[in-house]
Amino acid sequence: MCSYQKTNHSYRCQKSKLLNGPLKTEFGFEGFVVSDWGANHSGVASASAGLDIIMPNGGYWGKNLTEAVNNGSKLKQDAKFPAIGIYSNTVKHQPIEVQDDHPELIPDIGPASRFLSIYGYGATVKSTPWQNSSRFCGGFEVNYGWNTLNGTMITGGGSGSSTPSYVISPFHALSDRIAKNRGNLRWDFESETSYPPYVNSETCLVVFSDNLIKNVAANCTNTIVIIHPAGIGTVDTWISHDNITAVFFAGLPGQESSNSLVDILYGDVAPSGALLNSSVFFDYFPQDDFQEGLDLDYRAFDKNGIEPQFEFGYGLTYTTFDYADLSVSQIINGTAEYPNPDVAIAQSGNLQLGGTSYCHREHHKYGKRNSGRGRAVVYIDPGKSATVSFTLARRDLSVWDV
């Protein structure tokens, strides 16, 4: 998706240098590029620059592109187009099946008789129907219109929204596990005071809400907080509470989210995720002039001596591990600028244990900075070891001074 911002004073949705250069050529991206909502500001220019679909409607394209072609304009588009797969909500059509083996795959990526309690409106699916007419079957915008509605958050709103085939809420997944293990589950989706306090609960799960978290923690000595964020969330008022034993930063994880969550809660899978960033930035007139040099994101925090509550790359798991025998070797003739088009890129695996990251120390005229490059997740049995390799591209070790 191309965004609203400009780069070097040109809108990104018509920036051929970015779309056809680094994205589609250097990175080897073979998908399609869609504009953010209303982010396209031209006709032939953006169509020729690498933009494939504009949202939310025809805008500068539609009849305008047809007229441009009839007037002799040439669009740099391949003649081999796929079959039509996008329809308006007024056109009856068969849904396109894209699930494949996702229900089995998602728990792998995300992830005893007990008495548990779960609290918060985010623990279940909202009771009102999905009503966005712009999406097949309504769409699951839990903050559509920028108003947060009740229900578990599996996807973002606006351009980040999606239409799942079904939703496994935290309450749903926990109920299945509790029934299988002959346990007990109590719930309260609406009360902020969590009445009654279930004193027999071994664990109390709270889906993020500041006052509710504090009220539950006051009555439950093993309170676990689950966060499904769609933006910035602060934790200052409760993170140091003695009864809060764990926090799950679960992201916006899609329709199978809570099966993955339960796998981690029950210890079937060791968590291996890490925070994506540690930056906060907002500007009414977004234009990046690159005045920050190399001090982006976590490096800006390092430069300015800012200590965030949880830094970039933060993440815990259920075990400990050590690093040893670090070695570096040069790839002969490994300075190619572009990736090999014959190499398949796949994402899979049984992610049961651990994550490792590579970090190097940069020395240049901008000073000394730690720079994260590369991450791998490997399966390691208890007491065993494994070798992890990071292949670094030319860009990973490059410093630009422009």
Catalytic residue ranges? 36
Sole residue written with tokens 């764990």: 246
**CB neighbourhood size of 385 (10 A):** 11
DSSP 8-state class, residue 197 = P
Q: What does the alpha-carbon distance between residue 209 and residue 211 come to, in Å, rounded to a whole number?
A: 6
Q: Could you tell me which residues come within 8 angstroms of residue 57 by beta carbon, excluding any fewer than 6 positions away?
A: none
Q: Regarding beta strands 223-227 and 6-7, do their DSSP bridges make them parallel or antiparallel, or are they unpaired?
A: unpaired
Q: What share of the chain is helix, strand, coil (3-state, %, to 5)?
A: 20, 15, 65
How far out from the chain centre does Cα 106 lie?
A: 13
Side-chain-facing half-sphere of 192: CA atoms under 13 Å:
3
Q: Could you tell me which residues come within 8 angstroms of residue 164 by beta carbon, excluding any fewer than 6 positions away?
A: 140, 154, 155, 254, 255
Which strands form 287-288's sheet, in the order they lie side by side?
A: 10-11, 6-7, 287-288
62: left (phi over 0), alpha (psi -120 to 50) or beta: left
Phi, psi of 362 (to 5 degrees): -90, 140
Q: Are 1 and 32 in contact (CB under 8 A)?
A: no
